[in-house]
């Protein structure tokens, strides 16, 4: 018999959602069967998959030990470096300035060196996170950016902070500002552009059109040219996303004729080779928290702005613009 005492980070979850995270080796079909047969009990009574857990509840599992094998394995994050590039931290969240080249979560390569693993290792080394003391929760990233994009990524350290931050992101109560370098100099120096995008999951790209696409989504982007390098035919743009679509900035700017320098998916490879740039010149540069209504444990963040370190492409092609951004 395995027993879980529900703590604050576990509370509020449905029984089935909790079990999927706490006992990942237990197949869903068996979980539902064991709940039905009362081999999984809540406070020594029968429960339903939709029952919400409260702090202090006791969940008892009368199931085979084989289903708990994964929990005894070495924690994957211990193979990652402890450097997490933290620019802000309190008891609820931390904000990292992810460098270009580092993936946020494990991808098909299966490497352990990811931003989230670095965060977990860092917190573990400081005694701020102990997976053996948690049933189902681990600090988690609230937003993500591409491997080759530099910039700010938010991580929630508690379940409550994760729920609130995800809701704020969903309701667009966080302003995100990006910097990028485009090939060419737009005639229109400041604009709000609109198009339609459709994601191709197989090829991991998006198709952009000025007309609605089947299964497509509206894409709205605001940009401002803040510096020009006419000698190199490059422009530095400040960009804000009104919608949040896959590869939105990269695909949208390429669609209007000004692809990002270094972009291998939507850019001009000939030009990228000329500049010897192998990653897109894009940075998630600034976050401003603009909460509306109750923000609970995150209230102290409301109205605050956080900025990433100056991107490499600003230093290289627009050194005089450092103070402007």
CATH number at residue 105: 3.30.2350.10
Whether 94 and 159 map to the same domain: the answer is yes
16 and 58 share one domain: yes
Same domain, 123 and 250: no
Asked whether residue 80 falls in the same domain as residue 136, the answer is yes
- CA atoms 179, 274, 266, 210: torsion sign: positive
d(CA 292, CA 308): 24
When divided into structural domains, the chain yields a total of 3
Tell me: do 42 and 127 sit in the same domain.
no
Q: Are residues 310 and 180 in the same domain?
A: yes
Question: Would you say 18 and 10 are in contact if contact means Cβ atoms under 8 Å apart?
Answer: yes
Average pLDDT over residues 282-298: 96
Percentage of the chain beyond pLDDT 70 is 96
**Whether residue 182 is found in the same domain as residue 227:** yes
Residue whose structure tokens are 């790209």: 205
Residue carrying structure tokens 């988690």: 140
Smallest CA-to-CA distance from 115 within 92, 147, 67, 88 is with 147
Q: Are residues 30 and 81 in the same domain?
A: no
Determine the pLDDT at residue 70.
54
Domain range for residue 195? Answer: 174-321
Active site (catalytic) residues: 146
Q: Are residues 188 and 244 in the same domain?
A: yes
Question: Which of 152, 170, 188 represents a domain boundary (last residue)?
Answer: 170
Q: How confident is the model at residue 324 (pLDDT cuts 50, 70, 90)?
A: low
Average per-residue pLDDT in the chain?
Answer: 92
Q: Is the pLDDT of residue 163 over 50?
A: yes
Beta strand spans in 107-216 (E): 140-141, 150-156, 174-183, 190-200, 205-209
């Amino acid at each position: 018999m395995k027993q879980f005492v529900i703590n604050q980070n576990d509370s509020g979850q449905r029984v089935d959602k909790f079990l999927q995270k706490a006992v990942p080796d237990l197949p869903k079909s068996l979980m539902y069967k064991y709940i039905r047969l009362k081999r999984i009990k809540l406070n020594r009574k029968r429960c339903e998959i939709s029952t919400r857990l409260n702090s202090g509840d006791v969940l008892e599992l009368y199931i085979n030990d084989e289903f708990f094998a994964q929990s005894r394995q070495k924690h994957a994050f211990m193979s990652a470096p402890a450097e997490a590039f933290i620019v802000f931290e309190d008891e609820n969240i931390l904000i990292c300035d992810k460098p270009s080249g580092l993936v946020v979560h494990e991808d098909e390569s299966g490497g352990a060196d990811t931003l989230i693993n670095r965060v977990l290792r860092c917190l573990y080394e400081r005694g701020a996170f102990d997976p053996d003391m948690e049933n189902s929760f681990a600090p988690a990233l609230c937003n993500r950016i591409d491997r080759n994009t530099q910039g700010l990524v938010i991580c929630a350290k508690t379940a409550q902070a994760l729920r609130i931050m995800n809701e704020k992101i969903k309701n667009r109560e966080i302003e995100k500002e990006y910097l990028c370098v485009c090939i060419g100099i737009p005639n229109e120096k400041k604009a709000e552009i609109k198009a339609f995008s459709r994601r191709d999951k197989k090829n991991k790209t998006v198709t952009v059109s000025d007309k609605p696409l089947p299964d497509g989504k509206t894409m709205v982007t605001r940009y401002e040219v803040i510096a020009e390098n006419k000698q190199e035919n490059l422009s530095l743009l400040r960009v804000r996303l009104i919608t949040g679509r896959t590869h939105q900035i990269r695909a949208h700017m390429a669609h209007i004729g000004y692809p990002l320098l270094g972009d291998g998916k939507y850019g001009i490879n000939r030009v990228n080779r000329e500049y010897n740039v192998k990653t897109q010149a894009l940075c998630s540069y600034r976050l401003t928290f603009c909460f509306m209504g109750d923000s609970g444990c995150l209230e102290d963040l409301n109205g605050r702005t956080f900025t990433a370190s100056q991107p490499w492409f600003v230093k290289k092609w627009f050194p005089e613009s450092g103070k402007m951004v």
